[in-house]
Structure 1
Amino acid sequence: MKAVVFPGQGAQRRGMGRELFDAYPELTDQASEILGYSLRTLCLDDPHRQLGRTEYTQPALFVVGALAHRQWRENTGDQPAFLAGHSLGEYCALHAAGAFDFATGLRLVQRRGALMAQARGGGMAAVVGVDAARLRELLDESGFLGLTVANDNAPEQQVVSGDTATVDALVAHLDARDVRCVRLNVSGAFHSPLMHQAQQDFARFVDGFALGDPATPVIANATARPYAPGRTARTLVDQIVQPVRWTESVHHLLDHGVTDFVELGGRVLGRLIDQIRSAPRPAARTETPAARTETPAARRDTPAALPDTPAAALGSPLFRRRMGVRHAYAVGGMYRGIASAEMVVRLGRNRMLGFLGTGGLPLPEIEQAVKEVQHGLADGRPYGVNVLADHDDPAAERALVELLMRHRVPVIEASAFMQMTPALVLYRARGLHRGADGRTLCDHRIMAKVSRPEVAEQFMAPAPGPVLDRLRRENALTDEQVELARTVPMSHDITVEADSGGHTDGGVATVMLPAMLTLRRQAQHRYGYDEPICMGLAGGLGTPAAVAAAFVLGADYVLTGSINQCTVESGMSTEVKDMLQDIGIADTAYAPAGDMFEFGAKVQVLRKGVFFPTRANKLFSLYSHYDGLDDIPQKTRSLLERTYFGRSLEEVWGDVCSYLRSQGRETDIDRADADPKQKMALVFRWYFFHTTRLAMDGDGSGKVNYQVQTGPALGAFNQWVDGTELASWRHRHVDRIGLMLLDGAAEHIATACRQWSASIGAPSV
């Protein structure tokens, strides 16, 4: 497997690019016109000795790297599996991957170089012979807390940044201890918090450009992982102040099968890569370079980076690259913030995908939670937000999508959708644009959760034409967005949801997933998509054996739900968590779904210790047998008021009317006044809202009415961890649970393969 890499500042030399300028005179002239001076003269002759100055060096290296890639591709016809660049070289890598065209890249680099050249009051020094971990210890022990390890170039080559006086003091300090430290001839403290002003200025400049996603994975300096969808601009802005994690980046490439590195535009990185390859790795990474800027309290709460394990090989590499995650694993967005901002951040910091739960929450609370997630994952780590279909109020669904687009949320989890709504189509199409190579790039991705074949087929198809036409007439979409939306599926990532907690059709995974995989093959053949559809599995995943079965069935990824409700990071009340940690696989039951009450849809809920399932099913039975509240026998009505609602049905109806008026839904009140059956449905729906709130608040006085949506997977998980410290939910963390399941699944598969090989006399694997 091959990776193409590009060097950064320091690779410049007089005479560079001669053969490239001769081979591509039109692009060379275009570059000179954009820059306002002769690039050929600068690189070949450098008459004014400007090539070593940042504002000239960076554009020159970008042009040479971009042209070198063009020539290499034309001469070899090769397509690398990965691209990467050191600092400035990352722009060459992104251009090569189609994230922006040549002119855009040059303008970005020209502005970046000018802003960095203007930085004053800071400096940098190279430290040789000390690895990054030891250097951080030296800085801390010696009181140089204001310095940043700006470049982790190789196991024994680091660069530090900071204010000029402190850097000078460090050079003298290390020299006295026989540690080689060389002051670099730069004007500023690059890749450190002292570049904050340059970062802010560059962010405003970048806002004027539409940057796409790389078509080939590009490893970001700031994260040492592939660029996440929809975050190209933000990651480039962050790069100015974030350290260059080159050693980690090369380790990531090696771990993903890269054996051949091709350096274009210089001869600097090959030596570093050789050093990284040959040096022993530390047993585990315990802190990311970015963590040095956090407070001690924040660092204690941040999970340590974990070493790669066999679990990282499970599932689809495409899914992992697309979502910017280490594992083919996700955590679903549980209702009313049970999948909390804390949960999503904890997962994201370990390169795992979590979806913020928004169902049932008002928009201001959702917006605040999104901001918390984005603040906690400011370095481009993965996250998503759940969007629950609103069958009663399409305007509310549209408002939520508009909010998520304003905040540039890159991925949503679409749940409980029966058809493609205008809001869903708007989100998908608004994120489509063409890359420099003409390919369709996606800034907005949808992970669809489905349990019915007919719904899956809609998500595998392009957006419905009539909905696209309507949005175009509203000027909500451009002609290009409508055109591109007809060429891609509504969702490239579809989660098949078998019997599970919450909304469920009670499907069987071993029946559903193979059938859905057949539908995927048919859709791929029918529509001829350039980018394949990935298919995941959810429902019943509470043990390593269950997760292993999902991958063996053909799942590209897995998504868990119920088991995460009983964790430290869950937004559920402690009273409910105490109940959930003790349930078994037979302690759940089915009840009507409050948001789809009239349709008879089902949710799976906690049965042990509560009356909710029995009472909810009784309400649906009454709804089915009577035409209105006045038809219910008085004895039954009194029982409902005394034990279910805790108030008269007239008082409940008053609460319902107040809520509907607050949402601008007076027409629903008018329809209910004219239709006793509809009024009864709205009153009964109040019970479902009330019981959820009781559980979320941990209101002990209403414990028997708690509605807790959960499935038997949690009971299986409880059985698996019985007798360990994880028997208590107070020791359960979402990232640790995910890794334990994946590690166990990998071992389960390996053991099964060994047993199978032995049984037929074949070589073991």
Structure 2
Amino acid sequence: MITYVFPGQGSQSKGMGGTLFDEFKELTAEADVILGYSIKELCLEDVDLNLSQTQYTQPALYVVNALSYLKRIEETGIKPDFVAGHSLGEYNALFAAGAFDFATGLKLVQKRGELMSHATGSGMAAVIGLNEEQIADVLKQNNLQSIDIANYNSPTQIVISGLKTDIEHAQPIFEGIKDVKMFVTLKTSGAFHSRYMEGAKREFETFINSFEFFQLAIPVISNVHARPYKQSDIKQNIVEQITHPVKWTESIRYLMGLGEMEFKEIGSGKVLTGLVQRIKREAEPLVIKSAEKQVQNVLPSCLGSSEFKKDYNLTYAYVTGGMYRGVASKEIVVKMGKAGMLGFFGTGGLNLSQIEDAIQYIQKELLAGEAYGMNLLHNPNNPEMEEKTIDLYINYGVKNVEAAAFINVTPSLVKYRVKGLKKNEQGKVITSNKIIAKLSRPEVAQAFLSPAPAQILAKLVSENKITQEEADLSTQIPMADDICVEADSGGHTDGGVAYALTPAVIKLRDDMMEKYQYNKKVRIGAAGGIGTPQAAAAAFILGADFIVTGSINQCTVEAATSDAVKDLLQEMNVQDTEYAPAGDMFELGAKVQVLKKGLFFSARANKLFELYRQYNSLNEIDEKTKKQIQERYFKRSFEEVYNDVKAFYPAQEIEKAERNPKHKMALIFRWYFGYSSRLALSGSTESKVDFQIHCGPALGSFNQWVRGTTLENWQERHVDEIALKLMHETAELLDQRFNTFLSA
């Protein structure tokens, strides 16, 4: 595990930040506007010698630490497991964890530095050589109770705070003690982290009341408690920190007690690196016994497969699925990537230009190696479109694809999978393109757990679409890196039961791993019905390496559907869905799950399918039924619909329809599915009852879970905040359950 630590006041130096200000010009400009002066000039030149003054020091360190963190993420793509900061540095830890954005953190730090700089007549000193108990005894025996311990930097390096006269009086006393190696008066403007900061604390508490904080994406170790922050205590902790001692030694010991831990100092100087090394030499790891347990053992970042998170550069084993027609929008994908999770853009029903625009937007927004992916919905009626989409992904370097609704492996998928295959120095096959196959049938899982079919490989080689070397190497890897087991869900669904399906696919995975002796384990994820912590916890207990949500994400601000649809979804409950034919697989009888409450779409779509099964042409249908369909369902004649169909489908489809009346009827009926989707996406009032809204019961349970909270209104729902809340409360729930079992 890795912990990033951020230094505080005292680590500043002229020249800090270097080229970072030019590398992050937009943030540097934003800082200049907030502060009212050039942060670059202050840090690099310090002409007016302001860098040592608290009101300037704290914002300068915050900016340099923050830019250093962003640079580290950009270079390595690795997010830490934990973060901690010493005093001022704790704001950088909170920034790294996502509690607030860069600008908000800077405003907080600017105010903090300003208030703390007002303190006069007080100071600080470092005592080196004595431990905590010895210093407390010296203060008590010499009637120096007006002095507080401010920083527990290491077991034998402790900082005291008090009035300057008292600090001066204490110096000869401490220097006269045999074990004291050094007494150093610090160059600070006040007695930080002591009772003498009470005025600053009160003003700061008033100041931060107007601020709201986001869900923490990474555990932050508190200076006040030397334990991970609780979400509800962010404001209280940063207020209390002003007058409370910095428990740095205990914080590092706590992190050491969690297991093998590597510490990386981010920002200006190497002060904390030295302190961590000293603590490791002088103190034992702090292992919290369950009887004394103050924080949860199950952390949200620990749920799921660590290898899955590492492969995709994620903080959480959480994925948002690609909902059709871009409902899973580019904004959702970017939000998820920036929050340390993986989002897939929903490409089903979109043209190549729309897909390309989304790729360009996502790649422009995610420049620091954050994860993202593109959905590929199986298109049996138009394999050419499927291949063109794959070519687009390859050309743009899209590395993660969610393969959905496939019933077998297709040439386009094989082409994507094997492109760029090579061996590393150990002789293992390295993949360039990852596939997460979303499926609900064991026989489909078996196809994706097998190597690419030999006949497809041979054809692709003969067409010069892949090399022979790539084809040969592909025999050593499965078609998918990961399998997402999709139980009953919104959109395309087989109505599978998670409790039966997931264990069956896990067993199949294990058997296929044994059969083919793959070097890398195929991970199994879970989707369908996940809208509450209880459902997510059940998925992880079943053995899911990651979870995928869908329905709950389309009732968020970022989802690319209409406000009218979101208003309907916000009011649904678990029983308010129905199955209807899938428009893209109408003739096959495939099903989608849709919203039923207040809508006629599912009844009308099922009626059309029954007519298709019963009759061989439109002419065989009775006149009353034909009139009902044209006037109530379509709002136009069959002839008008067929004109639209001819403009949409390729010539060979229309030729087939002219020869085959049943196929013509199918194309006309399929028009209704596209029409109903467009109505919903636009929020058209033309015929609200015909809205086609793909949705599963998970959203109904989610609505019940958040009822009475700020998330009850969809306008307050943001996809990343929902994901973080779900993962955090899932971890808390599992922690409670495990402790209940242990107690019993």
The bucket for the TM-score relative to the shorter chain is: 0.5 to 0.7
Cα distance in 1, alignment partners of residues 318 and 67 from structure 2: 33
Answer whether contact 1:385 1:409 (CA < 8 A) is retained. Answer: yes
- Aligned residue among 219, 225, 241 for 2:79: 225
1:669 aligns with 2:560: no
Aligned to 2:430, the other structure's residue is in SS state strand
Counterpart in 2 of 1:272? 273
- Aligned residue among 483, 486, 502 for 1:494: 483
Counterpart in 2 of 1:464? 453
Counterpart in 2 of 1:66? none
Counterpart in 1 of 2:525? 536
Q: Which amino acid aligns with 2:395?
A: R
Cα distance in 1, alignment partners of residues 306 and 401 from structure 2: 20
Cα distance in 2, alignment partners of residues 572 and 536 from structure 1: 26
Q: Judging changes above 3 Å, is the alpha-carbon distance between structure 1 residues 400 and 141 closer, same or farther for their aligned structure 2 residues?
A: closer
Cα distance in 2, alignment partners of residues 277 and 725 from structure 1: 46
Q: Judging changes above 3 Å, is the alpha-carbon distance between structure 1 residues 704 and 137 closer, same or farther for their aligned structure 2 residues?
A: closer
**Cα deviation, residue 584, structure 1:** 0.6
Aligned to 2:735, the other structure's residue is in SS state helix
Counterpart in 2 of 1:108? none
| TM-score, normalisation: structure 1 | 0.65
**Cα deviation, residue 431, structure 1:** 3.5
**Cα deviation, residue 221, structure 1:** 4.1
1:16-35 equivalences in 2 (<5 Å):
none
Cα distance in 2, alignment partners of residues 445 and 171 from structure 1: 54
Deviations 1:194-231 (A, max 9, x none): xxxxx9xxxxxxxxxxxxxxxxxx9864544289xxxx
1:523 aligns with 2:512: yes
1:174 aligns with 2:51: yes
Q: Judging changes above 3 Å, is the alpha-carbon distance between structure 1 residues 684 and 313 closer, same or farther for their aligned structure 2 residues?
A: same
Cα distance in 2, alignment partners of residues 262 and 613 from structure 1: 56
Answer whether contact 1:462 1:488 (CA < 8 A) is retained. Answer: yes
Q: What do you get for the CA RMSD once the two structures are aligned?
A: 3.7
**Cα deviation, residue 672, structure 1:** 1.1
Cα distance in 1, alignment partners of residues 275 and 443 from structure 2: 53
Cα distance in 2, alignment partners of residues 729 and 276 from structure 1: 49
1:327 aligns with 2:316: yes
Cα distance in 2, alignment partners of residues 192 and 752 from structure 1: 40
Q: Which amino acid aligns with 1:538?
A: A
Cα distance in 2, alignment partners of residues 702 and 256 from structure 1: 62
Counterpart in 2 of 1:622? 611
Counterpart in 2 of 1:414? 403
Cα distance in 2, alignment partners of residues 410 and 425 from structure 1: 14
Aligned to 2:587, the other structure's residue is in SS state helix
Cα distance in 2, alignment partners of residues 657 and 143 from structure 1: 63
Cα distance in 1, alignment partners of residues 561 and 446 from structure 2: 34
Q: Judging changes above 3 Å, is the alpha-carbon distance between structure 1 residues 226 and 671 closer, same or farther for their aligned structure 2 residues?
A: farther
Cα distance in 2, alignment partners of residues 435 and 454 from structure 1: 32
Counterpart in 2 of 1:107? none
Deviations 1:711-735 (A, max 9, x none): 1110011111111111110011111
Q: Which amino acid aligns with 1:390?
A: N
Deviations 1:72-93 (A, max 9, x none): xxxxxxxxxx9x9xxxxxxxxx
Q: Which amino acid aligns with 2:374?
A: V
**Cα deviation, residue 434, structure 1:** 2.1
Cα distance in 2, alignment partners of residues 269 and 261 from structure 1: 15
Counterpart in 2 of 1:743? 728
Q: Which amino acid aligns with 1:598?
A: E
Identity %: 43
Cα distance in 2, alignment partners of residues 745 and 332 from structure 1: 19
Q: Judging changes above 3 Å, is the alpha-carbon distance between structure 1 residues 509 and 653 closer, same or farther for their aligned structure 2 residues?
A: same
1:337 aligns with 2:338: no
Deviations 1:563-586 (A, max 9, x none): 101001100100010011000111
Cα distance in 1, alignment partners of residues 53 and 740 from structure 2: 61
Cα distance in 1, alignment partners of residues 551 and 742 from structure 2: 35
**Cα deviation, residue 146, structure 1:** 5.6
Counterpart in 2 of 1:259? 260
Cα distance in 2, alignment partners of residues 250 and 578 from structure 1: 36
| TM-score, normalisation: structure 2 | 0.66
1:547-566 equivalences in 2 (<5 Å):
547-566=536-555
**Cα deviation, residue 757, structure 1:** 2.6
Aligned to 1:174, the other structure's residue is in SS state coil
1:321-720 equivalences in 2 (<5 Å):
321-660=310-649, 665-720=650-705
**Cα deviation, residue 463, structure 1:** 0.8
Q: Judging changes above 3 Å, is the alpha-carbon distance between structure 1 residues 497 and 640 closer, same or farther for their aligned structure 2 residues?
A: same
- Aligned residue among 301, 314, 317 for 1:312: 301
Answer whether contact 1:333 1:413 (CA < 8 A) is retained. Answer: yes
Deviations 1:333-369 (A, max 9, x none): 1001101011111111111111011110111111111
**Cα deviation, residue 255, structure 1:** 9.3
Q: Which amino acid aligns with 2:699?
A: L
Answer whether contact 1:144 1:170 (CA < 8 A) is retained. Answer: no
Answer whether contact 2:490 2:694 (CA < 8 A) is retained. Answer: yes
Cα distance in 1, alignment partners of residues 734 and 263 from structure 2: 36
Answer whether contact 2:15 2:43 (CA < 8 A) is retained. Answer: no
Q: Which amino acid aligns with 2:79?
A: R
Bigger Rg over Cα: 2
Aligned to 1:385, the other structure's residue is in SS state strand
Aligned to 1:403, the other structure's residue is in SS state helix
Cα distance in 2, alignment partners of residues 344 and 318 from structure 1: 21
**Cα deviation, residue 275, structure 1:** 3.9
Q: Judging changes above 3 Å, is the alpha-carbon distance between structure 1 residues 250 and 605 closer, same or farther for their aligned structure 2 residues?
A: closer
Counterpart in 1 of 2:16? 125
Deviations 1:425-477 (A, max 9, x none): 11111132222433222221001101011000011111111111111111111
**Cα deviation, residue 168, structure 1:** 2.0
Cα distance in 2, alignment partners of residues 418 and 574 from structure 1: 34
Counterpart in 1 of 2:99? none
Cα distance in 1, alignment partners of residues 278 and 460 from structure 2: 53
Q: Judging changes above 3 Å, is the alpha-carbon distance between structure 1 residues 489 and 219 closer, same or farther for their aligned structure 2 residues?
A: farther
The gaps in structure 1 that reach 5 residues or longer are 4-81, 85-122, 128-134, 148-161, 182-188, 194-198, 200-217, 228-247, 280-306, 760-765
Answer whether contact 2:680 2:688 (CA < 8 A) is retained. Answer: yes
Q: Judging changes above 3 Å, is the alpha-carbon distance between structure 1 residues 734 and 177 closer, same or farther for their aligned structure 2 residues?
A: closer
Aligned to 2:344, the other structure's residue is in SS state strand
Aligned to 2:503, the other structure's residue is in SS state helix
Q: Judging changes above 3 Å, is the alpha-carbon distance between structure 1 residues 686 and 260 closer, same or farther for their aligned structure 2 residues?
A: closer
Q: Judging changes above 3 Å, is the alpha-carbon distance between structure 1 residues 467 and 658 closer, same or farther for their aligned structure 2 residues?
A: same
Deviations 1:566-615 (A, max 9, x none): 00110010001001100011110000000000111100001011100000
Cα distance in 1, alignment partners of residues 405 and 680 from structure 2: 22
Aligned to 2:687, the other structure's residue is in SS state helix
Cα distance in 2, alignment partners of residues 137 and 659 from structure 1: 48
1:733 aligns with 2:726: no
Answer whether contact 2:488 2:528 (CA < 8 A) is retained. Answer: yes
Answer whether contact 1:309 1:743 (CA < 8 A) is retained. Answer: no
Q: Which amino acid aligns with 2:45?
A: D
Q: Which amino acid aligns with 2:681?
A: M
Answer whether contact 1:612 1:704 (CA < 8 A) is retained. Answer: yes
Deviations 1:289-311 (A, max 9, x none): xxxxxxxxxxxxxxxxxx99811
Counterpart in 2 of 1:71? none
**Cα deviation, residue 174, structure 1:** 1.9
Answer whether contact 1:340 1:357 (CA < 8 A) is retained. Answer: yes
Cα distance in 2, alignment partners of residues 682 and 372 from structure 1: 34
